[in-house]
């Protein structure tokens, strides 16, 4: 019996010592990130059967287990990956918002300065100093377009670097997790599934958490203790002891854009869909580029293209101080078509993107594909597609997009595709061509006059030019009123007659000489028989600012986005949208941080180390150890007594 008591005491000592060691381990790792509290699980040794019944044989140590909840851990994982995504997105969009909304560095003050300079010329159309200020303001405005686009390109380049760095971190973590999978599988195979490699499990969990902070991962527990990890649309990055690599490199459609590819188990390289890589830092970076940066750069380019095209169109209708028709004020801008690197005829095939109506341009990119029989153009912002047998039929006339496509003299091959970017390079490419202030076309090339001998109250307006075809005029055009037939006989120019009834048209009637520069004018009042009016070439344009007024009116005209907004309105709308997105992300970020804090508290209340509780356990297990020691002492005395009786 003494021997049995001695054995029980030894088992109690071992159990108490194991509990003390585990408690000490918990206390020493209280501040260790990712550590899960452990506890010793005790069991009762098999009892000894005797004639008097079963006598206990003390305690044994079943295992040391982690106080772990897969459900709570999964909640923390999801909250962390969502929080990391919002944090990455918020950092990027906050800087972009500050850049574009800056009252000094943004586009709004530069465009306002340009139109203010135009307004200053209205008071003195012949002032070379005032005209030079317009050119200087235009140069400052185009330089601001260039600078902002360059800054956006720098953001894009920095983003590419961050994406590449994040992918490298993902690969490193996946490799480490696979290594731990191997170690855990070996350890648990040698000790059995009930004796877990707790610290290695914690380390693997910590690595998975770090990986989840970079990109959302899905876990699948295996029977050997390993965990398989999947990203995107189910692509495995860790399977048992094997890790599969991601690669960050130039996109096959746009070499300036870093995309993520995946090397499948069979060695096949797959392009990852950006939208499938959600969550974590990588998801936030890709979402910012896709949803905000691309849109912002396209929107800025659209404003530049609209400014260049529409200002040029009006300036060409004017007349400068030299008496010549206006020339292009800004350079002509066009879109770009980037051939996929997989195109079979990449060295020869090309697609030209010509802007034909800036008012219809969107801020989306497009994808053009050719299957050997038909061309398909897809608007990437909403995946609306159009199909045509010829490239010139895209976009279709019934759905104008503001640009036309052609392949020049080259022929596309089946399977070729192009990334169409109608507005992406607008802000980077815009330039001010005009440098001579005398060539600022503020006047109209045609003037009108009423004869001093007219007896009636008839009047002719100064008129406007809508086309320079047929200009300058070959000679004056004279309108002579015939009261008997209520017509003006036209001498010179198109000739013929124009009907004018003083009884119904005295309030004003518009007429256009389409063959003479698209000249539109108004006749009003009640002319007398024989009254004449003259339309002729504007000899010098001195004191004439009609075209200048038309140019200045572009500032407030709704000439973009289908006629819903103007240059500054479109820019302000872009800034407002980015600001709204930034505020939305910040709100979501704060809400997610609160959610993360709460689920972490719940998880830590179960799995975290409570030092007060562990201190109490130290005392409890110390007393158990001392009691077991006392038991051994008593067993020793009993044994000595037995020996003495035998002597």
Q: Is the pLDDT of residue 21 over 70?
A: yes
* CA separation for the pair 635, 11 (Å, rounded): 13
Q: Is the pLDDT of residue 242 over 60?
A: yes
Range of lowest pLDDT (52-61, 120-129, 398-407, 452-461): 52-61
pLDDT of residue 646: 63
Q: For residue range 213-224, what is the model confidence (pLDDT) as tens digits?
A: 999 999 999 888
Q: For residue range 477-493, what is the model confidence (pLDDT) as tens digits?
A: 999 999 999 999 999 88
pLDDT of residue 589: 93
Q: In the structure, what pLDDT confidence band is assigned to residue 345 with cuts at 50, 70 and 90?
A: low
Q: In the structure, what pLDDT confidence band is assigned to residue 192 with cuts at 50, 70 and 90?
A: low
Interacting residues of 30 by C-beta distance below 8 A, sequence separation 6+: 609, 611, 614
- What phi, psi does 410 have (nearest 5°)? -95, 160
Average pLDDT over residues 435-449: 92
Q: In the structure, what pLDDT confidence band is assigned to residue 55 with cuts at 50, 70 and 90?
A: confident
From residue 284, give the alpha-carbon distance in Å to each of 290, 291, 621: 10, 10, 49
pLDDT of residue 130: 93
Beta strands in 485-570 (DSSP E): 487-491, 497-499, 509-513, 519-524, 532-537
Range of lowest pLDDT (38-52, 256-270, 388-402): 38-52
Tokens at residue 193, please?
């599934």
Among the listed residues 342, 328, 192, the one whose alpha carbon sits nearest the alpha carbon of residue 255:
342
pLDDT of residue 110: 93
Rg (CA), the chain: 41
Whose tokens are 């289908």? That residue is 562
Q: Is the pLDDT of residue 36 over 90?
A: no
pLDDT of residue 297: 96
Q: In the structure, what pLDDT confidence band is assigned to residue 283 with cuts at 50, 70 and 90?
A: very high
3-state SS of 479-495 is EEEECCCCEEEEECCCC
Whose tokens are 């195979």? That residue is 189
* CA separation for the pair 620, 42 (Å, rounded): 15
Contact criterion met (CB below 8 Å) for 478 and 530: no
- What phi, psi does 310 have (nearest 5°)? -75, -35
Contact criterion met (CB below 8 Å) for 253 and 417: yes
Q: Is the pLDDT of residue 86 over 60?
A: yes
* DSSP states along 250-279: E-SS-TTSEEEEEE-TTS-EEEPPGGGS-S
pLDDT of residue 633: 80
Helices and strands in the chain: count of H runs, count of E runs: 12, 27
Range of lowest pLDDT (133-147, 446-460, 613-627): 613-627
Interacting residues of 224 by C-beta distance below 8 A, sequence separation 6+: 185, 188, 189, 240
Q: In the structure, what pLDDT confidence band is assigned to residue 557 with cuts at 50, 70 and 90?
A: very high
Q: 3-state DSSP call for residue 442?
A: coil
Q: In the structure, what pLDDT confidence band is assigned to residue 494 with cuts at 50, 70 and 90?
A: confident
Q: 3-state DSSP call for residue 330?
A: strand
Q: Long-range contacts for 580-588 (Cβ within 8 Å, ≥24 apart)?
A: 581/93, 581/291, 581/292, 582/90, 582/93, 582/94, 582/96, 582/97, 585/86, 585/89, 585/90, 585/93, 586/90, 586/94, 588/86
Q: Is the pLDDT of residue 108 over 80?
A: yes
Bridge-based pairing of strands 59-66 and 38-44 is antiparallel
Q: Is the pLDDT of residue 645 over 60?
A: yes
pLDDT of residue 483: 93
Q: Is the pLDDT of residue 196 over 90?
A: no
* CA separation for the pair 525, 504 (Å, rounded): 10
Q: Is the pLDDT of residue 269 over 60?
A: yes
Tokens at residue 214, please?
């970079």
Average pLDDT over residues 500-518: 87
Tokens at residue 98, please?
């500050």
Average pLDDT over residues 496-509: 92
Range of lowest pLDDT (22-31, 117-126, 333-342, 345-354): 345-354
pLDDT of residue 3: 66
Q: Is the pLDDT of residue 346 over 60?
A: no
Range of lowest pLDDT (338-352, 509-523, 547-561): 338-352
**Residue of 398 and 328 predicted with greater confidence:** 328
Q: In the structure, what pLDDT confidence band is assigned to residue 77 with cuts at 50, 70 and 90?
A: very high
**Residue of 61 and 145 predicted with greater confidence:** 145
- What phi, psi does 59 have (nearest 5°)? -115, 155
Q: In the structure, what pLDDT confidence band is assigned to residue 94 with cuts at 50, 70 and 90?
A: very high
Angle at 585 between CA 583 and CA 586, to 5 degrees: 65
Contact criterion met (CB below 8 Å) for 131 and 440: yes
* Mean pLDDT rounded to a whole number for the chain: 89
pLDDT of residue 643: 73
Work out the angle between the directed axes of helices 2-28 and 611-646 (0-180°, nearest 10).
160
pLDDT of residue 379: 96
Angle at 615 between CA 612 and CA 616, to 5 degrees: 90
Among the listed residues 107, 567, 546, 520, the one whose alpha carbon sits nearest the alpha carbon of residue 311:
567
Q: Is the pLDDT of residue 93 over 90?
A: yes
Contact criterion met (CB below 8 Å) for 66 and 38: yes
* CA separation for the pair 618, 22 (Å, rounded): 10
* Residue 368 parent element (H or E): strand 366-370
Average pLDDT over residues 596-619: 88
pLDDT of residue 197: 82
Q: What is the pTM of this model?
A: 0.87
Average pLDDT over residues 146-156: 95
């Amino acid at each position: 019996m003494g021997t049995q008591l001695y054995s029980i005491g030894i088992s109690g000592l071992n159990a108490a010592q194991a509990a003390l060691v585990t408690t000490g381990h918990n206390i020493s790792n209280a501040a260790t990130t990712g550590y899960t509290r452990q506890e010793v699980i005790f069991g009762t040794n098999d009892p000894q059967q005797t004639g008097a019944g079963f006598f206990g044989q003390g305690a044994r140590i079943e295992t040391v287990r982690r106080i772990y909840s897969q459900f709570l851990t999964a909640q923390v994982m999801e909250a962390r990956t969502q929080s990391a995504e919002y944090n990455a997105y918020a950092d990027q969009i906050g800087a972009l918002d500050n850049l574009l909304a800056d009252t000094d560095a943004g586009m709004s003050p530069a465009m306002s300065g340009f139109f203010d300079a135009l307004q200053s010329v209205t008071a003195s159309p012949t002032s070379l100093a005032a005209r030079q200020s317009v050119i200087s303001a235009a140069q400052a405005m185009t330089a601001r377009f260039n600078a902002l686009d360059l800054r956006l390109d720098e953001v894009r380049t920095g983003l590419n670097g961050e994406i590449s760095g994040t992918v490298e971190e993902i690969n490193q973590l996946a490799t480490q997790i696979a290594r731990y999978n191997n170690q855990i599988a070996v350890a648990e195979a040698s000790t059995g599934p009930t004796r877990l490699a707790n610290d290695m499990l914690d380390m693997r969990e910590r690595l998975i958490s770090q990986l989840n902070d970079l990109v959302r991962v899905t876990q699948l527990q295996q029977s050997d203790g390993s965990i398989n990890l999947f990203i995107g649309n189910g692509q495995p990055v860790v399977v048992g002891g094997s890790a599969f690599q991601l690669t960050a490199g130039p996109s096959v459609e746009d070499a300036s854009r870093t995309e993520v590819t995946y090397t499948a188990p069979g060695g096949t390289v797959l392009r990852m869909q950006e939208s499938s890589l959600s969550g974590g830092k990588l998801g936030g970076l890709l979402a910012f580029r896709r949803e905000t940066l691309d849109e912002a750069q396209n929107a800025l380019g659209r404003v530049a293209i609209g400014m260049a095209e529409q200002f040029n169109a009006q300036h060409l209708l004017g007349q400068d101080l030299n008496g010549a028709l206006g020339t292009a004020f800004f350079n002509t801008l066009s879109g770009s078509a980037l051939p996929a690197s997989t195109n079979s005829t990449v060295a020869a095939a090309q697609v030209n993107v010509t802007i034909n109506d800036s008012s219809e341009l969107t801020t989306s990119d497009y994808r053009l594909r050719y299957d050997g029989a038909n061309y398909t153009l897809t608007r990437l912002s909403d995946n609306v597609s159009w199909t045509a047998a010829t490239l010139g039929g895209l976009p279709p006339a019934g759905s104008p997009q503001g640009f036309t496509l052609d392949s020049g003299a080259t022929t596309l091959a089946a399977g070729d595709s192009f990334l169409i970017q109608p507005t992406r390079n607008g802000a980077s490419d815009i330039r001010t061509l005009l440098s001579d202030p005398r060539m600022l076309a503020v006047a109209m090339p045609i003037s009108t006059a009423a004869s001093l001998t007219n007896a009636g109250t008839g009047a002719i307006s100064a008129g406007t030019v809508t086309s320079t075809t047929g200009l300058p005029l070959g000679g004056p055009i004279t309108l002579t009123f015939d009261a008997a037939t209520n017509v003006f006989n036209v001498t010179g120019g198109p000739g013929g007659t124009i009907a004018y009834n003083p009884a119904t048209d005295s309030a004003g009637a518009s007429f256009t000489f389409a063959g003479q520069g698209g000249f539109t004018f108004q006749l009003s009042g009640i002319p007398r028989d024989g009254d004449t009016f003259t339309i002729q070439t504007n000899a010098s344009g001195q004191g004439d600012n009609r075209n200048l007024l038309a140019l200045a009116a572009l500032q407030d005209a709704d000439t973009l986005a289908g006629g819903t907004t103007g240059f500054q309105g479109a820019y302000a709308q872009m800034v407002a949208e980015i600001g709204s997105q930034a505020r939305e992300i910040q709100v979501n970020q704060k809400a997610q941080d609160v959610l993360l804090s709460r689920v972490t508290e719940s998880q830590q209340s179960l799995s975290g180390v409570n030092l007060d509780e562990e201190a109490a356990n130290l005392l409890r297990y110390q007393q158990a150890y001392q009691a077991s020691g006392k038991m051994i002492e008593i067993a020793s005395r009993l044994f000595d007594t037995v020996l003495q009786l035998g002597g």
